[in-house]
């Protein structure tokens, strides 16, 4: 069995921490979708929404929309397929902050 080596990669912050607010057109309530480790413990990330639909079904249109709008640039690095590098501390796709994370390859 071969040992894992640790590589550091730069990813858009949305890969590990994402938040978006939606306002209901009918009630005016604000719903918040999040994707982060707080939703799934220490071993991964998961989606969450504050709306009633998500509370009862575990899925909702707000999360579906967030899946389509989240940048997620650099997530291919997490599979170890290739490492994208760029200069600076801003994502080249969306302009958000980037984070350096360690992965085992």
Domain-wise residue ranges, the chain? 6-104
Query: pLDDT per residue over 83-98, tens digit each?
Result: 455 666 888 888 888 8
The whole-angstrom separation of Cα 23 and Cα 32 is 9
- For the chain, the average pLDDT equals 80
Whether 24 has a pLDDT exceeding 60, the answer reads yes
Beta strands in the chain (DSSP E): 6-12, 17-23, 30-36, 46-49, 98-104
Helix (H, G, I), strand (E, B) or coil at 37: helix
Please choose, from the candidates 35, 32, 15, 14, the residue with its C-alpha nearest in 3D space to the C-alpha of residue 23. Answer: 32
The whole-angstrom separation of Cα 53 and Cα 62 is 9
Residues 6+ apart with CB under 8 A from 23: 29, 30, 31
Please choose, from the candidates 85, 83, 50, the residue with its C-alpha nearest in 3D space to the C-alpha of residue 66. Answer: 50
Query: pLDDT per residue over 39-58, tens digit each?
Result: 665 445 688 999 999 899 98
Residue 85 sits at the vertex; the CA angle it makes with 79 and 88, to the nearest 5 degrees, is: 135
Whether 77 has a pLDDT exceeding 50, the answer reads yes
Which pLDDT score, from 0 to 100, does residue 81 have?
A: 42
């Amino acid at each position: 069995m071969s040992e894992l080596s640790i590589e550091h990669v730069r990813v858009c912050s949305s890969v590990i921490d994402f938040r978006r607010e939606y306002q209901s057109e009918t009630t005016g309530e604000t719903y918040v979708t999040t994707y982060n480790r707080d939703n799934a413990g220490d071993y991964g990330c998961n989606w969450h929404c504050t709306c009633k639909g998500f509370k009862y079904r575990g899925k909702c249109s707000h999360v579906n929309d967030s899946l389509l709008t989240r940048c997620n640039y650099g997530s291919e690095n997490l599979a170890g397929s290739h490492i994208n590098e760029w200069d600076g501390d801003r994502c080249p796709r969306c302009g958000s902050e980037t984070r350096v994370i360690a992965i085992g390859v």
